[in-house]
Structure 1
Amino acid sequence: MTAPATIVVVEDDAEIAEMIAGLLRAEGYLVHTAGDAHALGAVLAAVRPDLLILDVMLPGEDGLSICRRMRAASAVPILMLTARSDEIDRVLGLEMGADDYVVKPFGPRELVARVRARLRRAADPQPVSRPNRRYAFDRFVIDLDARQCATAEGEEVSLTTGEFDLLACFVGAPRRVLTRDFILDKIRGRGADPFDRTVDMLVSRLRKKLDAASPGTALVGTVRNGGYLFTATVKPLT
């Protein structure tokens, strides 16, 4: 019999924290709560979570800082809680390594569905061996497994988590018009807000970094009323 997943909820509003904890416990999960970074440290000293639900607005060290620190030391799935108006926080959360986010106020079904999806993805067994997933495009080389992108001369292109996921999406579908909804589904999963502007912001940042690494690069085109088009030819490397 499989042991229930352990979830840590970091939320300074005690009422919201207990609501979330009660909801998840009713689904059979083991849940611990913490009101700030200090309390989270005490919880992590005692348990090893399978998922972290992390509010952005916390007293002392905020959720974005905690997310960045956690991601540097752990691959535990992180689900961010953000306010509806704080789009920049959602983008920053994804770039700092969060796996997903839920916008407040949220429905119980939405939260449970996202928790299940993240736990399911984390539990998927990895294949023992996989074919090499290195590709060349324009004047760049991308390694999807190592999550690295570099120029043909070997100069690394420093990309955030969100920027790399976006580039990987483009590399996987070159010379095809990709709608914002398609891209959002690939980098955030099903159920993402169709009005989310995350894609546009990430495209802008990715364009700037690719152009800075190789001036004159114009690999991501905008298609009016369509989405985005990755214009480069992508070739697998052996």
Structure 2
Amino acid sequence: MNKIHHVLVVEDDPVSRQTLAAYLRKDNHRVSEAENGEAMRRVFAGGDVAVILLDINLPGEDGLSLLRELRRQSEVGVIMVTGRDDQVDRIVALELGADDYVTKPYDMRELLPRTKNLARRVAAARLVREDESIKYFSGWRLDIPHWSLTDEAGREVRLTRAEFELLATLVSHRGRIFTRDALIDHVSRRDRDPLDRTVDVLIGRLRRKIEADPAHPKLIITVHGIGYVFAG
């Protein structure tokens, strides 16, 4: 039997919401439903939601605004759902900290494993062993057990879970060159898409947070034609 995870479906269309919720329940997930941001907050306040399937086109507060709010307070897994195949929406969602992005009409047989994989990663993150190491580089302190990054003055820099996973992978393997495919395996477990810019977007965000000069990085180095290497 699969491990039970709590999944929250935020969708204003009742037929779509109920159909998706029923499909997830068949796979032994505990599913809550919300038709808007207010209902989402009520469910999320319970504190045990692992993954939120969040529609972008909601009445009132749109999904991107709700995603921004979620990321200010939590690293819950978020998969954005939209009826528009818009690359700008996709990049904005990733920039705001979404873990994944699907376009309607989606195949539930594909959405289910994406949800399950993300739920497992969130659960694992919540149970990180206390004996995992703390990494130091160029004045930075990366505390893997407590999911925090602080500068030499002790100020904490906020990272999304995807950013943290990517940085922890690179820092833990200094000098190793990672392809984009290898890094996306560590970050999102998604099917690889040759046009997927997930890793590049995350690298750009990390550089802006940890590099003295993001335009001329000294820590996360691009290896042209291959991928990235951490040289800090």
Q: Which residue of 2 aligns with 1:25?
A: 25
- Structure 1 runs not aligned, ≥5 long: 233-238
Task: Tell me the CA shift for residue 22 of structure 1.
Answer: 3.3
Task: Tell me the CA shift for residue 227 of structure 1.
Answer: 0.9
Describe the SS at the equivalent of 1:165.
helix
Alpha-carbon spacing, 1:47–1:212, altered in 2? closer, same or farther (3 Å)? closer
In 2, the alpha carbon distance for the partners of 1:216 and 1:100 equals: 29
Q: Does 1:131 align with 2:111?
A: no
Larger Rg: 1
Report the TM-score when normalising by structure 2: 0.78
Task: Tell me the CA shift for residue 126 of structure 1.
Answer: 2.9
Deviations, residues 98-139 of structure 1 (Å, cap 9, x unaligned): 444333332121111122223334455836x53242111233
Which stretch shows the higher mean deviation, 185-194 or 43-52? 43-52
Q: Does 1:210 align with 2:210?
A: yes
Report the TM-score when normalising by structure 1: 0.76
Deviations, residues 116-163 of structure 1 (Å, cap 9, x unaligned): 223334455836x53242111233221122322233343444444443
Q: Which residue of 2 aligns with 1:81?
A: 81
Q: Which residue of 2 aligns with 1:227?
A: 227
Describe the SS at the equivalent of 1:196.
coil
Alpha-carbon spacing, 1:31–1:163, altered in 2? closer, same or farther (3 Å)? closer
Percent identity at matched positions?
39
Alpha-carbon spacing, 1:215–1:153, altered in 2? closer, same or farther (3 Å)? farther
Q: Does 1:114 align with 2:114?
A: yes
- Structure 2 runs not aligned, ≥5 long: none
RMSD across aligned C-alpha pairs, in angstroms? Answer: 3.5
Which stretch shows the higher mean deviation, 67-76 or 57-66? 67-76
Describe the SS at the equivalent of 1:205.
helix
In 1, the alpha carbon distance for the partners of 2:147 and 2:47 equals: 29
**Matched residues, number:** 231
Partners of 1:81 and 1:103 within 8 A in 2: yes
Describe the SS at the equivalent of 2:211.
helix
Q: Does 1:60 align with 2:66?
A: no
Alpha-carbon spacing, 1:45–1:205, altered in 2? closer, same or farther (3 Å)? closer
Q: How does 1:154-169 map to 2 (within 5 A)?
A: 154-169=154-169
Which stretch shows the higher mean deviation, 223-232 or 137-146? 137-146
Alpha-carbon spacing, 1:103–1:212, altered in 2? closer, same or farther (3 Å)? farther
In 1, the alpha carbon distance for the partners of 2:198 and 2:181 equals: 11
